[in-house]
Amino acid sequence: MKQKYILRGCVLMVLVLCTGRLFAADQCIACHAGVVGDKPSALFKHDIHFAKRISCADCHGGNPKAEEMEAAMNPKQGFKGVPKGDAISQVCARCHSDSTKMKTYGAALPTNQWGNLQTSAHGKLSTTGKEHIAQCITCHNAHGIVSVKNPASPVYPLNVVKTCSKCHANAAFMRTYNPSLPIDQAEKYRTSVHGALNAKGDPKPAVCSSCHGSHDIRTSKDAKSSVYPVNMPVTCSKCHSDAQYMAKYRIPTNQYDKFAKSVHGVALLRKHDVGAPSCNSCHGNHGATPPGVESVSKVCGTCHALNADLFSASPHKKAFDDRKLPECETCHSNHEIVTATDTLLGVAPEAVCSRCHQESQNPKGYAIAKTMRQLNDSLALSGSVATALVNEAEQKGMEVTEAKFKLRDARQAHLQMRTMVHAFNEDKFREVINKGMAAASFAKVEAKDAIDEYYFRRIGLGVSTLIITILSIALFLYIRRIEKKQV
């Protein structure tokens, strides 16, 4: 026990001596902490730079060994005072952009932060027009800087949202840069699954920097941004496809693979159609959370508005809600939504209707599903016959513009029918089908007439050519006869 106290006493003595030696070497701390007692010097004692024996003068200039204030803070001795504007970040960059220097401190940090910051959204000029919007100290603090892994750091995962919100939740401040940018990201974040876990002290769920990046933050409209629609699925998948990282949350990690194969994924990732939905289109971005069973149709309805409206007014809405079936997802799946084909409709084994509407248990629904499929097939068949006839007439060189217009109407009706199916109402469905059938019939008649006309022209040509040829021969013989007489 006695030995333990002696050991502790020795350690304390060493610490006191070391600190004393340091303070003795750096007169800045000696005065500012000992005499003035200001906050920066108090914070600096906990700063990682202080631990790495970087002195105040390394950033502020001057002579840290001079005992007299006039000598220590003499501009002739290189004293710069408090750096302003971009000079702040340039001071940090002197070491943080120099990999050799960083190695001397034993740091394995990247050295591209200042470069990234300059090209980022925060690197744009501030309202004064003289400096970047954000400097290093805006997020990392000036004195008392600690490692990002240190829970005391303002950029530690549990603190990031608060740090970013200092500006991004400040309406007056944000208005000066982008009045249309929302300022409720932090509030939404707190309602998200990520935010809820973060609030419980879990540093793993996504925070602002997980999706937006840190030094290289770009606006969501910038194609290089990690939150640009095309890049969004990859950004989310960095965590959500990492089975090991996600293990403790017990949720699937195959969403990205499924999404990439889906009609939305193909449009977004392969065709680079930025109008196609990305992860955040359905889950929200800052308030990311899986949509509830009842709200699926509303979520899908942000794009598929008509389908959603028809579904909400249909008898299926109540039936789905009662059975706790997720609305659109029940028939179309969620992440792996493929292009809807006619096979989804009807009572065949591959049709989705037959999953609930079986002949024995639900004969009425079964009959309607069967009829709707038959009507659909009739329109599809009629359309394809009309298309073939119109193509044939066109290949024969006939003028079939009007028939082609009608074909377009028939195709339009087929598309309308696919929407109308969500009303699950046979009468409304039949009305659209009839419209399409009428257009297809018209096109068929027009095309048939054109084909008949084609053959009529050929027969007509044959007859007229024959008449003209006979006339020519007769004339030739007549000329010969009169010329013989003349001789």
Residue selected from 100, 361, 401, 427 as contacting other proteins according to rule CB under 8 A: 401
Site for other proteins in 105-144 (CB under 8 A): none
Distance, CA of 406 to CA of 420 (rounded, Å)? 20
Q: Give the count of beta carbons closer than 10 Å to the beta carbon of residue 26.
A: 21
Under 8 Å between Cβ of 45 and 51: no
* Least distance from other proteins to the Cβ atom of residue 442, Å: 14
Distance, CA of 115 to CA of 216 (rounded, Å)? 9
Among residues 245 and 476, whose Cβ is nearest to other proteins?
476
Under 8 Å between Cβ of 64 and 28: yes
Does the footprint of other proteins cover residue 460 (CB under 8 A)?
A: yes
Distance, CA of 254 to CA of 335 (rounded, Å)? 9
Judging by beta carbons within 10 Å of its beta carbon (0-12, 13-18, 19+), is residue 290 exposed, middle or buried? middle
Does the footprint of other proteins cover residue 199 (CB under 8 A)?
A: no
Among residues 394 and 409, whose Cβ is nearest to other proteins?
394
| Integer CA distances (angstroms), 49 to 113, 146, 154, 171, 296, in order | 17, 8, 16, 34, 51
The binding track of 418-457 with respect to other proteins, each residue x by CB under 8 A or -, is: --------------------------------x------x
* Least distance from other proteins to the Cβ atom of residue 440, Å: 19
Among residues 82 and 471, whose Cβ is nearest to other proteins?
471
Residue selected from 82, 199, 348, 471 as contacting other proteins according to rule CB under 8 A: 471
Among residues 86 and 446, whose Cβ is nearest to other proteins?
446
Distance, CA of 301 to CA of 188 (rounded, Å)? 21
Does the footprint of other proteins cover residue 16 (CB under 8 A)?
A: no
Does the footprint of other proteins cover residue 244 (CB under 8 A)?
A: no
Residues in the chain: 487
Among residues 222 and 394, whose Cβ is nearest to other proteins?
394
Residue selected from 353, 400, 410, 420 as contacting other proteins according to rule CB under 8 A: 400
Does the footprint of other proteins cover residue 458 (CB under 8 A)?
A: yes
First to last CA, the chain: 157
Distance, CA of 355 to CA of 340 (rounded, Å)? 16
Among residues 313 and 468, whose Cβ is nearest to other proteins?
468
Does the footprint of other proteins cover residue 21 (CB under 8 A)?
A: no
Does the footprint of other proteins cover residue 482 (CB under 8 A)?
A: yes
Bin 17: left if φ > 0, else alpha if -120 < ψ < 50, else beta. Answer: alpha
Residue where the block lists tokens 């929302």: 182
* Least distance from other proteins to the Cβ atom of residue 407, Å: 15
Under 8 Å between Cβ of 182 and 287: no
Structure tokens given for 461: 């040509």
* Least distance from other proteins to the Cβ atom of residue 392, Å: 16
In what helix (H) or strand (E) does residue 352 lie, and over which residues does it extend?
Answer: none
Does the footprint of other proteins cover residue 477 (CB under 8 A)?
A: no
* Least distance from other proteins to the Cβ atom of residue 470, Å: 10
How many residues contact other proteins, by CB under 8 A? 24
Residue selected from 112, 150, 176, 472 as contacting other proteins according to rule CB under 8 A: 472
Distance, CA of 89 to CA of 112 (rounded, Å)? 12
Q: Which residues sit at the interface with other proteins, rule CB under 8 A?
A: 397-402, 450, 457-458, 460-461, 464-465, 468-469, 471-472, 475-476, 478-479, 482-483, 486
